[in-house]
Structure 1
Amino acid sequence: MLDAYNSLELQVRLRTAELVTANRQLQEEIATRTRTEQKLQKGVARMKKNLEKTIDAIAAVTEIRDPFTAGHQKRVTTLACAIAEEMALPDEQREWLRLAAIVHDIGKINIPTEILVKPTRLSEPEFNIIEAHPQIGHDILQGIEFSQPVAKIVLQHHELMDGTGYPQGLSGEEIVLEARILAVADVIEAMASHRPYRPAQGIGMALEEILHNKGELYDSDVVDACLRVFYEKDFAFE
């Protein structure tokens, strides 16, 4: 009887020792994985910071070459971020949108200045050159590390819900939400501001434009959020 008891006690002790060892190994593995995850997070944070600095540098180049486009990008960024906040987008999506908005017209750096400031209607070849700027902007940004979401938003910011936009003719959900927001902010600022070929049309007419084409050219949820930003939150361009 005593031998059986001693044997059982020994088995319990051995099993307990095995469990203690396994638990220690598991804790060490968790600690190692935690350290690795922390290193990865720090690396991602550094890459995002470098991306922000690169985009700021690109925006600065745009401002030197074309102050008009730079001012437009800043105002569009302010409105796009306000719409995204109204729609309660997650922080990461809002940050990708902000970065894309800052340089959404960077592709215009490849367009001759005489076309950008032409006071009369563009010819078809000239308009074709203008239509290339989202693709050019995408190609510029695509070469920057960690910039894929930003480049995609820039590429799609002139796409329309019914597929009549450019450069790819995407429609509906094929267009990322951030680009749908940017499209609305872009048209509002463009219509409300002076252009070389026409005077400013005003915020009222710009809001009528997006409301009239809600669900057809522009995302319905984005339009509703934009209208709330102006009518309920008293948004105004600086």
Structure 2
Amino acid sequence: MSIRLAKLYAAGNTHRVAGLAEAIGRGLGLDASTMQGLRISALVYDIGKIAIPAELLTKPIALSAWEMALIKSHGEVGYEVLSEIDFLWPVAKAVRQHHERLDGSGYLHVLEDDAIIVEARILAVADTVEAMTANRPYRFAKGLVEALEVVSAGKNTLFDGAVVEACLALFREKDYSFPQSLTRHGGSSS
């Protein structure tokens, strides 16, 4: 995949995750200020990937342990970049935590339960669903049904139960869908 196509994918990925995260936040009844912070966090949640070589982000085969460790560092890199900006919201913290899981099985800091902020809990679900419904260089999209099954199976163990329920309601009851013009491109792993 070319670097140009990787950039196009990243933009589409970010907008799909941000749109879903916002819809989940509305479903949870978050206040306007928290919603604004969530939107900003979702638009920059993968900014740390600027430190990852494009060849890794677009590699069409499985990554080595070292390459995967480098990919996993993107949350910390994003935190370092964003912590220099004086946001009104915990944007840098949300970016740092978006791969954490309630049971401590996530990464970077192996946080659990209430140590993970709500914005990161929402990003975790939105990113997982988006990642599974979009093509990647190393696999075709798994599809929405499988994505929703994965987050549903992880409800209250990997993912926040209320966030999962809000996400499921969007797709199953409110006919939410990702914009079609942004879902046709392959791209990097999240």
TM-score by length of 2: 0.90
From 64, 71, 94, the equivalent of 1:153 is: 94
Question: What runs of 5+ residues in structure 2 fail to find an aligned partner?
Answer: 180-190
Show the counterpart of 1:202. 143
SS of residue in 2 equivalent to 1:126: helix
Compared with structure 1, are the counterparts of its residues 142 and 65 closer, same or farther at alpha carbon in structure 2 (3 Å cutoff)?
Answer: farther
From 45, 59, 64, the equivalent of 1:104 is: 45
Compared with structure 1, are the counterparts of its residues 194 and 65 closer, same or farther at alpha carbon in structure 2 (3 Å cutoff)?
Answer: closer
The structure that has the greater radius of gyration is 1
Deviation for aligned residue 1:199: 0.2
Does 1:79 pair with 2:12? no
Over 4 Å off, 4+ runs: none
Show the counterpart of 1:11. none
Q: Structure 2 CA distance, aligned partners of 1:86 and 1:144?
A: 29
Which letter does structure 1 place at the counterpart of 2:59?
K
Kindly indicate whether the alpha-carbon contact (under 8 Å) linking 1:142 and 1:148 is maintained by their aligned counterparts in 2. Answer: no
Count of aligned pairs between the two proteins: 177
Which letter does structure 2 place at the counterpart of 1:126?
E
Deviation for aligned residue 1:68: 1.4
Kindly indicate whether the alpha-carbon contact (under 8 Å) linking 2:34 and 2:89 is maintained by their aligned counterparts in 1. Answer: no
Which letter does structure 2 place at the counterpart of 1:234?
D
TM-score by length of 1: 0.72
Does 1:119 pair with 2:55? no
For residues 200-238 of structure 1, give each alpha carbon's deviation from its aligned partner in whole angstroms, at most 9, with x where no partner exists. 111110000001111111111100110001111110000
Q: Structure 2 CA distance, aligned partners of 1:229 and 1:145?
A: 33
Show the counterpart of 2:153. 212
Q: Structure 1 CA distance, aligned partners of 2:160 and 2:135?
A: 25
By percentage of residues, which structure has more helix? 1
Kindly indicate whether the alpha-carbon contact (under 8 Å) linking 1:141 and 1:147 is maintained by their aligned counterparts in 2. Answer: no
Deviation for aligned residue 1:164: 0.9
What percent of counterpart residues are identical? 47
Which letter does structure 2 place at the counterpart of 1:122?
L
Deviation for aligned residue 1:67: 2.1
Kindly indicate whether the alpha-carbon contact (under 8 Å) linking 1:84 and 1:94 is maintained by their aligned counterparts in 2. Answer: yes
Kindly indicate whether the alpha-carbon contact (under 8 Å) linking 2:62 and 2:138 is maintained by their aligned counterparts in 1. Answer: yes
Q: Structure 1 CA distance, aligned partners of 2:116 and 2:48?
A: 19
Show the counterpart of 1:47. none
Does 1:163 pair with 2:104? yes
For residues 44-75 of structure 1, give each alpha carbon's deviation from its aligned partner in whole angstroms, at most 9, with x where no partner exists. xxxxxxxxxxxxxxxxxxx9972212210110
From 116, 125, 145, the equivalent of 1:184 is: 125
